Structure 1
Amino acid sequence: MVSNSNLALTRKKSSEHPLLQYEHGGCNISELGTPVKFLLPGSNFRIGATLLITTLKVISSVYDTFTWFGYYGFQKKRRQERLKLRNEIKAEIVSSTDGTSKTWRANREIRDIHVELEKGNINTMHKVFTLAIRKFGSKQCLGTRDLLTEENHFENGKLLKKCELGQYRWKTYTEVEHLATHFALGLTTLNLKPKESLCIFAETRAEWFVAAVGAFKNNYTIATLYSTLGEDAIVHGLNQTEATVVLTSSELLPKFRSILQQTSHVRHVIYMEHQLHQETVDASLYPGTISIYPFSEIIQRGRKVIDIKLEAPEPDDVAIIMYTSGSTAVPKGVLLSHKNVAAAMFGVTDGFGPVFPDDIYVGYLPLAHVMELAAEAVCFLQGVRIGYSSPLTLTNSSLKIKPGCTGDAVELRPTLMVGVPFALDRIHKMIKSQVDEGSAMKRAIFYFAYDYKLKWNYKGYDTPLVDRTIMKKTKMALGGRVRVLVSGGAPLAVNTHEFVQNCFCISISQGYGLTETCASATCTIQGDTTLGSIGPPLRCTDIRLVNWDDGNYTVNDVPLPRGELVVGGDVVALGYFKTHETTTHDFFLEDGKRWFRTGDIAAAEPDGSFRIIDRKKDLVKLQRGEYLSMGKIESIFKTFHYIENICVYGDPSKDVCVALVTPIQKQLELLSASLGNGDKLTLAEMCLDAEVESAFLELVQSFASTTKLHRFEIPAALKLCPEPWTPDNDMVTSTFKLKRRNVQKVFQADIDRMYAGLKTNE
């Protein structure tokens, strides 16, 4: 590792806290896994920090001694509940077939909301929304923040829009009902018939959700497309669904100038208006067969319709054709029936746990993603207010927030939210970066407090004094009130899970589901602080493990059964739209129940919970017969504070892997400066510099030595990529899943170069 003994102080591994050293998910996590860097010269600072830590240890020991009995009595019941939750059996085996498969079913408690859904025969999304509107009519429902100003700024040669935002403005359930009804009636004036498709290609916002509520009132099928998809994928979706009506936003409307030249079925485009700018649409820029309307005009049209009765859907009608993000190929349209999505309400309510009248949910992920849509539908169902945001305005440091202005989370102060691992990895790195930029004393205090909190949390105790002092600032990054955070969309790295969980003083639940299962399969129970687990089955699913002989995974493996994870239940989709061959391969019917083969490899814990340990499509068999799990390796390296994103590549004809890395610019600048470059090099020049690349590889390999990665799993060479991987350049999906094929195609020459340079070392 490139370092300077006068610039770095590495924390000793704790011998006092054995719970700080453990194994989860195939990697060893020892404390934070990285050194605390005191970037101030001179030994006096290191001596001062050491003395401070020693003093804090003495003070904490005295404090623990005098407060032990008080805390023990005050937290006894809560501690017992936590320990019971960790150890209780959460699911049991309900069937086993000839040593080739085993099926688990949860024993979760039935809550009032489940009874209400069952007694009311709530089996369509129209019934779900109608039930909520009847219960919560005058309560605030959907909130949108006022956009006060929007200015152009240049940062690092790029044009960015910076926003100044005001308060949230709320619509009640009754107001949403009126808008949705008028929108549905307005669509009838465009000659849209029940069971025909309304395609939504737009960012997450209140009007998106209103349109969905309205569409289900007249049995329209919603076809969802991610707003970040490339033109070819959009054209594919529009042509495959034969949609005649498209809902988009004013910001995305210009994209349709070329798209509409290739989509013969589209006749009407509706756009959701910008808060500040009154759009003037130049009809001459679009095909003459296309009519374009603002969202408000469709509402006005609907208010004038008085002679049409809306047609409610049946359970087996298709509610959504939800296109996947296209992480592995052309986006597939997943056919989700009303019964599928309504059944998912049972599961997602399990994921969130009990809700309260003052709860607020922040909606910022794409509504075109089934996880976000299901989460917002459950919040709507239970009377939880939904305040809208975006990844670019969520926090004070988000890209579109004007300096000195507050992000949406600080203004909204949500209590419930859903996150994806990429966002949580960024929060992890942001907090560590802020801490490491502070003085040596502040860093010493933070990491001491973190270790102190970690020790007591693993024993089942809260640390209110640490939470209210040291962790107060980190909690405020998301408004200070978050009590439920569910992570989904991809595996969450164990040390990110632990770090963010402890910094925000909550238990992060990790869920598992796919578009094909309406985001519902498993989820950890609220309050369970177990790391790396995706929890037991939800009430709406059965989970089966099936032997995968090619990967040497079987349900008879010791100590834990392993195999391909297969999901069964009412949440399993009808199949893929107009893709019969793939449907028959991935879906099957058994004893009247639909099942879906996920392609993910899981291990079953003794308590009935599961862990994702591999993925079929991410496995490569190397020259010497070892299986390289690229996704597992990437999830470990994404937590390294020098790496923004990484794509691992393994050539089956070689015995080592290589990596493509987008570095964190600030850390790369520090590394470059330590090599004597000062601030002479640009980001692109640093990424091309052989000395910088070599030093970066040393750091990566040194970090790998703190994990349990095997030799063949540690990159033997790497390429630094200066351009970030974003949905806009088609390197990642809207939820920031890696588009492996796209990355490989763009950097194939660099991959070949790296392997060519290693030939002499094989």
Structure 2
Amino acid sequence: MFRSFVVPSSEVPGFSPIYRHPRYKDGTQNKEFADIKTLYDLFISMVANHPKKEFLGTREFYPETDTFGDFKWISTTDSAEIVDHIGAGLDSIYAQYAPEPNETTGQQPMGIFSINRWEWLLAELAALRSRRYVVGITDIAGVDSSEYVINFADTRVIVCSIDKIPRMLDRMDKTPNLKAIISMDKLDCSKPTVATQAFSAEVTDKLKAQADSLGVVLMDLDQVIQIGKANPTEPTLPSPDDLCNICFTSGTTGAQKGAFLTHKNLIYSAKANYLHYRPKNTTILSYMSRAHIYDRILVYFLMLDIVRVGFFSGDVSRVLDDMQVLRPTFFATVPPVLNRMYDKIASNTIGAKGIKGLLCRMAYKSKEKRITSGRGYKHFLWDRIVFNKVAKLFGGEIELAVCGGTIFASQVQNFMRACLSCDVTQVFGQTETSGTSMCQERQDFSTGTCGVPTPGVDLRLRSIPEMGYNVTDSPCPRGELLIRGDHISKGYYQEPEKTAELMEDGWMVTGDIVTVNTDGTFTIVERIKNAIRSASTVYIEPGPLEVIYSNHHLISQCYVYGSSRIFKLVAIVVPRPETFVPWARNIAKSPKAELIELCESKEVAEALTQELLKLGSEARVPSPAMIGAVHLEPKPLEQVNSQFYSTALKIRRHLVNQHYMPVFDKLCETVDFTTDPKFSEIKSSEKK
């Protein structure tokens, strides 16, 4: 069965035919939810249809013991009242301190600078109530990145958690246009949160004095609400074409770009996802940064029904604990997070020693066979004995999991399907596409695919002959992905040249290499900018290779590098300590050696290189994509440098390359890949 709909007679030279969702063949969304045209409409509609339902949840925090209790909920009706009060309060604040609209957008921006919490979402909705738009701010890539966004987007009013305030005040000379800072946390510290732990009323009094001396208004959200109650205003409703967000890209290929996203863009994207999955009465945990698009579009499309949004306790390492308390029915994640969960769970189940490991491996083998043959996700015996216990780590109620962001390992996808006994699907979207373009369908038991176009989205490929990708390739067309639909960004803030490069003849140019599989699903191969041209003049996609090599039982992370100087790749390898250390001690003949010492061993590095050569051969990796030498890094890459990963948890290859270039240069100089006998043997076997 060919899963996508192919628009008849839509091929033109150099381009594939146009592909659409199989149930929305005319390229529209069938006018469903036609009355919802803005995000504010979406919110008001949900409140009207589901009054007094639990909507936003936060775990109670106990500072004395640094522990968390149950989730406490704000209802839809109460949320609407809070949004009205904050919105009216913001109207007064803007009128007094930042009355002029932005010269470029004609509207007023409002920054939000915080981890995910209920105040983030309600402050956003309050801004939209008066035709303002939101600029999400993060500091994961350092102070300079937050200041860059504040200045670049001309953000004059910021709503933030209290822990962000001291640094902003200390560096006000870097953000001279900032006029007002609104703390999500009470400035008298009367209500403890994770963010207020390092603060007291005495400390915040000094912050107020510092703000006064700098000419910056400092107040908290409760004060804004009181201003709104005392000075009520009617909403100034946004239109579909009004700017809703300036959402900054992950910065994986260079400087961050601020993508314009209108209400029409985001509502179209939300409808596309909802019509594809049609979720009902969903509970989710919000933990992926709301400054980026993934978590936001997730909440938006689930609001087309009713959703309970539980916000995580502030530490990603506690996500599983939060899930066990919340018991979500829908789980959204990205490969780096899921890979860490997989490593931990697999080592205690299918990787365990003795009878336990034997039983878990038997259970997984049986269930994986059942899943891949299309017979469903549940097993009457193995679920009771093994997998229900694992599912309870995630709350035990998950009905659907989606994974997006980067390439997703098939091994991890099938393992999580077995553990959760539900669909675990891959999705694909970009900031510029409002977070959506294609989704794997429910009951699609395959792996390695992002599924089909979402409803109302057109996809096509164009050939890249200089890289060897052509839409005429058989049996699977390959090329650069182009996307069309009302969810596409209007361009980039203050960057007309990059905006001009975004669209061609009504199609968005993604920069992604894609394959159309024989069943009509799509597989993302790699970013064109990430492709490596080796000395053999062959283009190599590092992402899929890193997935293959990272699946080795000795490896936690693998980052590959290549250039036109060498015929094979070199790699930074982060070992998986529980399996690597015993193996490496045997290689080094040093039974008490620790991880750091083993990573410095030349013999261990050479032995691991041979392991990867063997794995590459078994996986039919072409010769230029073989690993010729490795550098062992004892620390995870995110601990080596937090800037290696964006807030969307995508690898910033240019920063990793810059950091490790001396290592790569040394590896390239010490190994002559052109005369490596193993390289010759592999080439000979390929010819046969």
Amino acid at match of 1:602: V
Q: Is the 8 A contact 2:139 2:145 kept in 1?
A: no
Q: Is the 8 A contact 1:671 1:692 kept in 2?
A: no
Structure 2 equivalent of residue 416 of structure 1: 330
Aligned pairs for 1:140-219 within 5 A: 140-149=54-63, 163-191=66-94, 192-193=98-99, 195-219=107-131
Structure 2 equivalent of residue 620 of structure 1: 532
Aligned partners of 2:67 and 2:518: how far apart in 1? 51
Structure 2 equivalent of residue 125 of structure 1: 39
Structure 2 equivalent of residue 301 of structure 1: 227
Counterparts in 2 of 1:230 and 1:209: CA distance versus 1, 3 Å: same
Q: CA deviation at 1:534?
A: 0.7
Q: Is the 8 A contact 2:115 2:314 kept in 1?
A: no
Amino acid at match of 2:40: H
Moved more, 280-289 or 514-523: 280-289
Aligned partners of 1:600 and 1:686: how far apart in 2? 38
Aligned partners of 1:603 and 1:458: how far apart in 2? 21
Kindly report structure 1 stretches of 4+ aligned residues shifted beyond 4 Å.
113-117, 284-287
SS at match of 1:223: strand
Aligned pairs for 1:343-742 within 5 A: 343-351=268-276, 353-357=277-281, 359-389=282-312, 392=315, 398=317, 407-435=321-349, 438-462=352-376, 463-590=379-506, 595-674=507-586, 675-681=588-594, 683-726=595-638, 729-742=642-655
Q: CA deviation at 1:725?
A: 2.3
Aligned partners of 1:190 and 1:602: how far apart in 2? 48
SS at match of 2:181: strand
Q: CA deviation at 1:242?
A: 0.8
Say whether 1:292 aligns with 2:215: no
SS at match of 1:119: coil
Q: CA deviation at 1:327?
A: 1.3
Moved more, 360-369 or 141-150: 141-150
Aligned partners of 2:249 and 2:498: how far apart in 1? 14
Q: CA deviation at 1:220?
A: 0.7
Q: Is the 8 A contact 1:647 1:740 kept in 2?
A: no
Say whether 1:98 aligns with 2:13: yes
Aligned partners of 2:148 and 2:605: how far apart in 1? 40
SS at match of 2:11: strand
Q: Is the 8 A contact 2:423 2:442 kept in 1?
A: yes
State the TM-score, normalizing by the size of structure 2: 0.89
Amino acid at match of 1:178: E
Q: Is the 8 A contact 1:89 1:606 kept in 2?
A: no
Aligned partners of 2:259 and 2:173: how far apart in 1? 26
Amino acid at match of 2:336: F
Q: Is the 8 A contact 2:132 2:244 kept in 1?
A: yes
Amino acid at match of 1:693: A
Counterparts in 2 of 1:222 and 1:686: CA distance versus 1, 3 Å: same
Counterparts in 2 of 1:270 and 1:639: CA distance versus 1, 3 Å: farther
Q: CA deviation at 1:317?
A: 1.0
Aligned partners of 2:314 and 2:473: how far apart in 1? 42
Deviation string, structure 1 residues 147-187 (Cα, Å, up to 9, x no partner):
12466xxxxxxxxxxx4211000010011111111111221
SS at match of 2:638: coil
Aligned partners of 2:34 and 2:299: how far apart in 1? 22
Counterparts in 2 of 1:303 and 1:644: CA distance versus 1, 3 Å: farther
Aligned partners of 1:422 and 1:91: how far apart in 2? 32
Aligned partners of 1:259 and 1:330: how far apart in 2? 21
Structure 2 equivalent of residue 14 of structure 1: none
Aligned partners of 2:246 and 2:443: how far apart in 1? 34
Q: Is the 8 A contact 1:657 1:712 kept in 2?
A: yes
Q: CA deviation at 1:89?
A: 3.5
Say whether 1:336 aligns with 2:261: yes
Deviation string, structure 1 residues 170-207 (Cα, Å, up to 9, x no partner):
01001111111111122123224572110112111111
SS at match of 1:473: helix
Q: Is the 8 A contact 1:618 1:630 kept in 2?
A: yes
Deviation string, structure 1 residues 515-551 (Cα, Å, up to 9, x no partner):
0001111101112112111111111310011111221
Q: Is the 8 A contact 1:421 1:492 kept in 2?
A: yes
Q: Is the 8 A contact 2:24 2:30 kept in 1?
A: no
Deviation string, structure 1 residues 3-42 (Cα, Å, up to 9, x no partner):
xxxxxxxxxxxxxxxxxxxxxxxxxxxxxxxxxxxxxxxx
Q: Is the 8 A contact 1:361 1:379 kept in 2?
A: no
Aligned partners of 1:252 and 1:643: how far apart in 2? 37
Q: Is the 8 A contact 2:21 2:456 kept in 1?
A: no
Q: Is the 8 A contact 1:233 1:330 kept in 2?
A: no
Counterparts in 2 of 1:671 and 1:248: CA distance versus 1, 3 Å: farther
Structure 2 equivalent of residue 757 of structure 1: 670
Q: Is the 8 A contact 1:365 1:391 kept in 2?
A: no
SS at match of 1:477: helix
Q: CA deviation at 1:760?
A: 7.7
Aligned partners of 2:214 and 2:589: how far apart in 1? 62
Q: CA deviation at 1:239?
A: 1.1
Amino acid at match of 2:79: V
Amino acid at match of 1:621: R
Deviation string, structure 1 residues 68-109 (Cα, Å, up to 9, x no partner):
xxxxxxxxxxxxxxxxxxx35432234111343421122326
Aligned partners of 1:652 and 1:389: how far apart in 2? 45
Q: Is the 8 A contact 2:141 2:642 kept in 1?
A: no
Q: Is the 8 A contact 2:11 2:17 kept in 1?
A: yes
Aligned partners of 2:75 and 2:576: how far apart in 1? 43
What's the RMSD between the two structures over aligned residues?
Answer: 2.3
Deviation string, structure 1 residues 593-634 (Cα, Å, up to 9, x no partner):
xx2111111122344321112321111211121112112211
Identical-pair percentage: 25
Q: Is the 8 A contact 2:511 2:528 kept in 1?
A: yes
SS at match of 1:144: strand
Structure 1 equivalent of residue 250 of structure 2: 325
Q: Is the 8 A contact 1:697 1:717 kept in 2?
A: yes
| Runs of 5+ unmatched residues, structure 2 | 102-106, 186-191, 676-688
Q: 2:140 aligns with which of 203, 228, 249?
A: 228
Structure 2 equivalent of residue 275 of structure 1: 193
Aligned partners of 2:432 and 2:545: how far apart in 1? 26
Counterparts in 2 of 1:652 and 1:339: CA distance versus 1, 3 Å: same
Q: CA deviation at 1:422?
A: 1.0
SS at match of 1:733: coil
Moved more, 293-302 or 737-746: 293-302
> When the two structures are aligned, how many residues end up with a matched partner?
645
Q: 2:22 aligns with which of 85, 93, 107?
A: 107
Deviation string, structure 1 residues 105-125 (Cα, Å, up to 9, x no partner):
223269xx96684432x2211
Aligned partners of 1:302 and 1:637: how far apart in 2? 56
Aligned partners of 2:265 and 2:171: how far apart in 1? 32
Aligned partners of 1:239 and 1:621: how far apart in 2? 37
State the TM-score, normalizing by the size of structure 1: 0.81
Q: CA deviation at 1:257?
A: 4.1
Counterparts in 2 of 1:265 and 1:434: CA distance versus 1, 3 Å: same
Counterparts in 2 of 1:98 and 1:290: CA distance versus 1, 3 Å: same
Q: Is the 8 A contact 2:181 2:216 kept in 1?
A: yes
Q: CA deviation at 1:126?
A: 1.1
Aligned partners of 1:637 and 1:183: how far apart in 2? 50
Aligned partners of 2:659 and 2:64: how far apart in 1? 34
